[in-house]
Amino acid sequence: MSTLENILTRIDGRVGVVQINRPKAMNALNGPTMSEIMSALEAFDADPAVGAMVITGDERAFAAGADIKQMATASVVEMMNSPFIGYWDRLRAISKPVIAAVNGWCLGGGNELAMACDMIVAGEGARFGQPEINLGVIPGAGGTQRLTRAVGKTIAMEMILNARQLSAEEALRYGLVNRVVPVERCLGEAVRLAEEIAARAPFAIRIAKEAVNAAFETALAEGVSLERRLFSLLFSTEDQKEGMAAFIEKRKAEWKGK
């Protein structure tokens, strides 16, 4: 376990875990916290001992949003020049799977952080929302786009225009989260899921993540064509030969990540 000012990190098996650790501020995401989160994820991404990652908070809050106290007096120029949005771009560039384990409040920039991950495991009491309208602003770190893609226009409109919060069960029903588990099992379930994924063929996992993410950036024909190229590319890996040989020989494949 390594302790920085605003996060804790550890490696659990082949899973890198980042825990946001600003309990007095409901894990609000100020610049230093986002900087530490991203540096930790990038270090895990570069570490061959890590196959997948989990970001979590504590039982009261995953994160209650960007730090309102830090941005309350900002000018338009300061916000336009703020490096803050760059942290979400860095998260998009992480090549290994990242799972958010969400208990408690998951609001504003916190929800945008969870949605920028690849999957979300929610604890039963989790509350998801984009309450920026209550502050006289709108989501600014991808919320209007990622939430709409996740839950559809009508629910996204209600959440963003009228600060509607979703319970964990509603988030599951609308497709925002993968599964809902008891609070005390949330992190363990996310790590277990990450561990399962980390045990699979590493290069194929990375390519699969890239292909699914392309669905949000491209037209269908372009996405299908990219998928065909990525699929064919995997036939240059030892893992493809091993995976198919193992099936034919009725044995478990041994992945090399090559």
Whole-number minimum distance, CB 53 to ligand DAK, in Å?
22
- The residues carrying an active-site annotation are 66, 109, 112, 132
Whose Cβ is closer to ligand DAK: residue 51's or residue 143's?
A: 143
Whose Cβ is closer to ligand DAK: residue 11's or residue 163's?
A: 163
Whose Cβ is closer to ligand DAK: residue 69's or residue 92's?
A: 69
Whole-number minimum distance, CB 27 to ligand DAK, in Å?
8
Determine contact, residues 56/19, Cβ cutoff 8 Å: yes
Q: How far is CA 163 from CA 112, 115, 136, in A?
A: 14, 17, 11
Whole-number minimum distance, CB 14 to ligand DAK, in Å?
32
Whole-number minimum distance, CB 81 to ligand DAK, in Å?
9
How crowded is the C-beta side of 35, counted as CA atoms within 13 Å?
A: 7
Question: What are the structure tokens assigned to 62, written together?
Answer: 């995953």
Binding site for ligand DAK (CB under 6 A): 25-26, 28, 64-69, 71, 79, 82, 84-85, 105, 107-109, 131-132, 135, 140-141
Whose Cβ is closer to ligand DAK: residue 105's or residue 174's?
A: 105
